[in-house]
Amino acid sequence: MSFDDGSGMAEGLWWQTGVIYQIYPRSFSDASGDGVGDLRGVINRLDYIVGLGIDAIWLSPIYPSPMADFGYDVSSYVDIDPVFGTLDDFDELLSQAHQRGIRVILDLVLNHTSDEHPWFIESRSSRSSPKRDWYLWRDPAPDGGVPNNWTAFFGGSTWELDEGTGQFYLHLCHRKQPDLNWRNPDVRAAIYDVMRFWFDRGVDGFRIDALWILIKDEDFTDNPEPPSQHGEGFIGGYMRPGFEDHSEVQDIVSEMRMVADEYPERVLMGEIYLPVERLVRYYGEDLTGLHLPFNFGLVTTTEWGARSASRLVATYEAALPEGAWPNWVLGNHDQPRIASRAGEADSRMAQMLLLTLQGTPICYFGDELGMRDCVIPDEFTVDPQAAAGRSRDGARTPMQWSLAPHAGFTTPHAVPWLPVDGSYPNINVEVQDVDPRSHLSLFRRLIELRREHPALHLGSQKVMNGDREELLVFLREHNGDRVLVILNFGSSVLAVDSMEVGEKARVLCSTLMDRFGDVYISSLELRSHEGLLLALTDAG
């Protein structure tokens, strides 16, 4: 697929050519010494972020919150939780980031608020409250039980009885996260004003949380049972017709896009766990929807290998609407880390894949080091989703900065909110920074190459695997700049054999960081679990 077609995208916007880095603020860097990361901690680490070469940070929620879901339960949309700092700290972060050329994207949690948000407090105060209809209230079933059979993502029924008014409210996630009624125009207007509040402050975009479940079936019809063949996590097919992917969500998406378009060069990214054919609808008709509906293919795939990766690329390319900008996600705060899913060697290949595929890469903090999921003993488990047997704590442990106590995440006498993984003496920034072959050095080099080569940040993409089972090969190309990516997922040395790309090439980077110089493609061999980036030097 190629974009240099005179569509006006030839040079690319920042969110197209750049790399986005997700920070889970509780776990990134704790300057205050209370064991929880904060905005000052992020400010202190901005030079590290610049050194990575990334272009934008996306911060998971930093708004006031009772923290039942660690910030995804918002009790005010227009302030900062004291655990993270103040609005002044936020303004300083924004200005210091901007001075360094780093954009800042916030998380917009709008399917639900906290039950401690003033809107909900007012809504539950009486059946005749002016905000009653801002949330989804239902009478009990005739037998006095829950209104229907819907099950929450965090386990149990989606319905919670409010004793005071005798009705149930809907919560698709935790009972402390009542769902907003997105059919109510006042709710929409209020959230669009929240967007303007942050855009006016200079925020560069939003990652919109749980976007595909905003609108619920008007009659609250039971979901078919069992609800999903894939279990009850966010991952899965279209199995919950009661609240997944209603066409009215598209109207909301285009309204949000209109708000974003009141400002120059803002970006809207969306969390949508749907099969690709449904996902791409969120680009909107004539691309008037999201700029980047998250493509979770690399996260949700249950197989890690050349075949599945090339299948993912092919399915995605086939589904993308004309002119839509692709994106790839490798990890986030809800999913096991890539180094645990794929193993150390393949986690290096995964970084190469993420940073060379066509489209915007979205990286999760710590993956640049190859951080692994921490095994958290039950007594330290804090994730509310653990109640449903799917704790996400392992992927949320503190960033491993150094050999210092608590891996340098917080002050020595503090107790980190989640344990630091035992791998930190080897897997940390301090050690990897000075090791030219480290995971971190690889990550930086890949971003540097991505920036240097228009083929990588703008170019067309052609998968050239043929029927090779363990090799994934693809060509990126832009105005004569040609870069070949070869990944050997196999456990033996593989010869590449000749390909229709010419003979001569120069090694730009091996995932093992130990190969340089000129090579001939027909005599090239890749070691097991090695990825190679080659600049093609024969005329194209």
Positions annotated as catalytic residues are 209, 262
Binds ligand GLC by CB under 6 A, chosen from 179, 204, 209, 232: 209
Residue whose CB is less far from ligand GLC, 20 or 173? 173
Site for ligand GLC contains 194 (CB under 6 A): no
Structure tokens at 104: 């800042």
Residue whose CB is less far from ligand GLC, 56 or 109? 109
Residue whose CB is less far from ligand GLC, 328 or 443? 328
b/e burial code for range 380-417 (CB count within 10 A of at least 16 → b): ebebbbbebebbbbbbbbbbbbbeeebbbbbeeebebb
Q: Which residues pair with 488 in a beta bridge?
A: 471
Structure tokens at 427: 């897997």
Please state the closest distance from residue 260 (CB atom) to ligand GLC, in A.
Answer: 20
Site for ligand GLC contains 334 (CB under 6 A): yes
- With beta carbons less than 8 A apart as the criterion, state whether 182 and 252 touch: yes
Please state the closest distance from residue 177 (CB atom) to ligand GLC, in A.
Answer: 6
Residue whose CB is less far from ligand GLC, 147 or 178? 178
Please state the closest distance from residue 152 (CB atom) to ligand GLC, in A.
Answer: 10
Please state the closest distance from residue 259 (CB atom) to ligand GLC, in A.
Answer: 21
> What pairing do the DSSP bridges indicate for beta strands 292-293 and 460-463?
unpaired
Site for ligand GLC contains 477 (CB under 6 A): no
Please state the closest distance from residue 154 (CB atom) to ligand GLC, in A.
Answer: 8
Distance CA 231, CA 273 (A): 13
The dihedral sign for the CA sequence 114, 119, 123, 124: positive
Residue whose CB is less far from ligand GLC, 382 or 404? 382
Size of the site for ligand GLC (CB under 6 A): 10
Site string for ligand GLC, 212-241 (x = CB under 6 A): ----------------------x-------
Residue nearest to ligand GLC (CB): 72
Residue whose CB is less far from ligand GLC, 179 or 346? 179
Query: What is the three-state SS of 490-530?
Result: CCCCEECCCCECECEEEEEEECCCCCCCEEEHHHCEECCCC
Site string for ligand GLC, 143-182 (x = CB under 6 A): ------------------------------x---------
471 SS3 class: strand
Site for ligand GLC contains 210 (CB under 6 A): yes
Cis preceding-peptide flag for 361 (omega within 30 of 0): no
Interacting positions 33-92 with ligand GLC (CB under 6 A): 69, 72
Please state the closest distance from residue 153 (CB atom) to ligand GLC, in A.
Answer: 7
Binds ligand GLC by CB under 6 A, chosen from 109, 268, 369, 455: 109
Distance CA 255, CA 423 (A): 46
First to last CA, the chain: 17
Going by the DSSP 8-state scheme, the letter that residue 339 receives in this structure is H
Please state the closest distance from residue 72 (CB atom) to ligand GLC, in A.
Answer: 3
Structure tokens at 69: 């879901």
Site string for ligand GLC, 111-150 (x = CB under 6 A): ----------------------------------------
Binds ligand GLC by CB under 6 A, chosen from 38, 244, 245, 271: 271
What are the DSSP calls for 175-230, one per residue? Answer: TTSPBB-TTSHHHHHHHHHHHHHHHHHT--EEEETTGGGSS--TT-PPPPSSS-TT
Site for ligand GLC contains 393 (CB under 6 A): no
What are the DSSP calls for 67-121, one per residue? Answer: -TTTTSS-S-TTS--TTT--HHHHHHHHHHHHHTT-EEEEEE--SB--TTSHHHH
Residue whose CB is less far from ligand GLC, 25 or 454? 25
Please state the closest distance from residue 209 (CB atom) to ligand GLC, in A.
Answer: 5
Residues of the shown chain interacting with ligand GLC in the complex, contacts defined by CB under 6 A? 69, 72, 109, 173, 209-210, 234, 271, 333-334
